[in-house]
Amino acid sequence: DTEVTQTPKHLVMGMTNKKSLKCEQHMGHRAMYWYKQKAKKPPELMFVYSYEKLSINESVPSRFSPECPNSSLLNLHLHALQPEDSALYLCASSQDSGTRGTQYFGPGTRLLVL
């Protein structure tokens, strides 16, 4: 079972809105990731939660904030986004490092910021 689920599938928001993206996995994985992907580009890593520790890509603006309520859930809170933040947001999870560090991805949330 390599299922990672993400909600919502699509999201349209204004620049003053606050919204959240949700990601869930039931594979017992201990690491979860948020990526941002623009069309026809590879994903860019935003955040890693591993064994309840957060690692941040320092280039990610503070209008994105991750939250990990438990080891199965990972949220991404969005506030005061800009139109250039419109992208596909992918969540992934992995068991550990080494071979078990293989990342499995959810279907993504397509975000449009107006």
Partner 1 sequence: AQTVTQSQPEMSVQEAETVTLSCTYDTSENNYYLFWYKQPPSRQMILVIRQEAYKQQNATENRFSVNFQKAAKSFSLKISDSQLGDTAMYFCAFMKHDAGNNRKLIWGLGTSLAVNP
The residues binding partner 1 (CB under 8 A) are: 2, 31, 33, 37, 40-43, 45, 48, 50, 53, 55, 88, 90, 92, 94, 97-99, 101-105, 107-108, 110
Nearer Cβ to partner 1 (17/71):
71
Nearer Cβ to partner 1 (17/50):
50
Task: Please report how close the Cβ of residue 64 comes to partner 1 at its closest, in angstroms.
Answer: 18
Task: Please report how close the Cβ of residue 42 comes to partner 1 at its closest, in angstroms.
Answer: 3
Q: Name which of 14, 8, 20 is nearest 69 in CA terms.
A: 20
CA distance 65 to 19: 11
Q: Name which of 62, 106, 70 is nearest 88 in CA terms.
A: 106
| 89 close to 106: Cβ distance less than 8 angstroms | no
Nearer Cβ to partner 1 (50/71):
50
Strand-pair partners of 93? 32, 104
